[in-house]
C-alpha cells in the first residue's frame, strides 16, 4: 500500500530544492526583466510547450494573465499572431522537441524575442533563443543498454520517470518568477483575483 509514495515524494521535492543551487540568477534576472518590459510596453507574451511541459506553460500563461499581462498559449484557437517585439517563452526539457524548435524559428522570423526554458544549453532550441534559462531535470529515457546494465547491477529506475523532474522543477521555477514579477509590478493577490475566471466549467 503506497509503498513507493513517500520515497518518490522525497526524491522529487529534494531535487526541486537542490535545483535552486544550479540556477543562474543572472539568467533569471534577464528573464524577469524581459517579462516586465513586455508588460510595460503592452507586448504579447506567448508561451509554448508540448505534453506536460505544455501544461506547465499553460499554468504560467494563466498567472501572467492574472497579473494583467497580454499572455497567450501558442496553439490555442484564440491566440493572435506573433509580431515584432513580442516575447515567446518556449519550454522544452530536451530543447529538441521538433514542434517547439519550429515555433521558435517562426517567432525569430517575425522578430519576436525567444526565451528558452530548458535543461540543455547545447540544443536546437537554445541555439535559436535570445535568452536561455537553465532549469535542471532528467529529460531522457535511459537507453536499452543502460536498462540492462541497471538490471544486472540491481539499480532500479528512478521514481520520477521521463521528464517529471524537469516539469515539476519548471512549474516551481515559473511560479517563483511570477512571485518576483508580482512584487516588481506592485500587484497584490486581491487585484489578481479580479482577473481570475468567475465562470467555471463543472
Instruction: Please state the domain extents for the chain.
Output: 20-193
Which is more confident, 20 or 196? 20
Which is more confident, 20 or 192? 20
Beta-carbon count within 10 A of 51 CB:
13
Percentages helix, strand, coil for the chain (3-state, rounded to 5) are 50, 10, 35
Residue 156 has pLDDT above 80, yes or no: no
- Residue 77 has what pLDDT? 94
* Whether domain 20-193 has CATH 3.40.640.10: no
Q: Which residue from 61, 62, 67, 65 is spatially nearest to 88, judged by alpha carbons?
A: 61
Cα angle: 28, vertex 31, 37; to 5 degrees: 140
Catalytic site positions: 167
Residue 197 has pLDDT above 90, yes or no: no
pTM, entire model: 0.88
pLDDT tens, residue by residue, 43-74: 999 999 999 999 999 999 999 999 999 999 99
| Average of per-residue pLDDT across 121-134 | 97
- Residue 105 has what pLDDT? 98
Q: SS3 for 72?
A: strand
Amino acid at each position: 500500500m503506497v509503498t513507493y509514495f513517500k520515497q518518490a515524494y522525497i526524491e522529487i521535492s529534494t531535487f526541486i530544492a537542490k535545483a535552486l543551487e544550479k540556477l543562474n540568477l543572472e539568467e533569471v534576472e534577464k528573464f524577469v526583466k524581459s517579462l516586465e518590459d513586455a508588460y510595460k510596453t503592452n507586448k504579447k507574451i506567448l508561451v509554448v510547450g508540448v505534453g506536460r511541459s505544455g501544461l506547465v506553460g499553460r499554468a504560467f500563461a494563466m498567472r501572467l494573465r492574472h497579473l494583467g499581462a497580454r499572455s497567450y498559449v501558442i496553439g490555442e484557437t484564440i491566440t493572435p499572431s506573433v509580431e515584432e517585439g513580442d516575447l515567446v517563452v518556449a519550454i522544452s526539457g530536451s530543447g529538441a522537441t521538433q514542434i517547439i524548435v519550429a515555433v521558435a524559428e517562426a517567432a525569430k522570423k517575425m522578430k519576436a524575442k525567444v526565451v528558452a526554458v530548458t535543461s540543455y544549453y547545447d540544443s536546437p532550441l537554445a541555439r535559436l533563443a535570445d535568452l536561455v534559462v537553465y532549469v535542471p531535470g532528467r529529460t531522457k529515457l535511459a537507453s536499452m543498454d543502460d536498462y540492462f546494465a541497471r538490471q544486472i547491477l540491481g539499480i532500479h529506475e528512478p521514481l520520477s520517470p521521463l521528464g517529471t523532474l524537469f516539469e515539476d522543477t519548471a512549474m516551481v521555477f515559473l511560479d517563483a518568477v511570477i512571485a518576483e514579477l508580482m512584487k516588481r509590478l506592485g500587484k497584490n493577490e486581491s487585484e489578481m483575483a479580479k482577473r481570475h475566471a468567475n465562470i467555471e466549467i463543472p
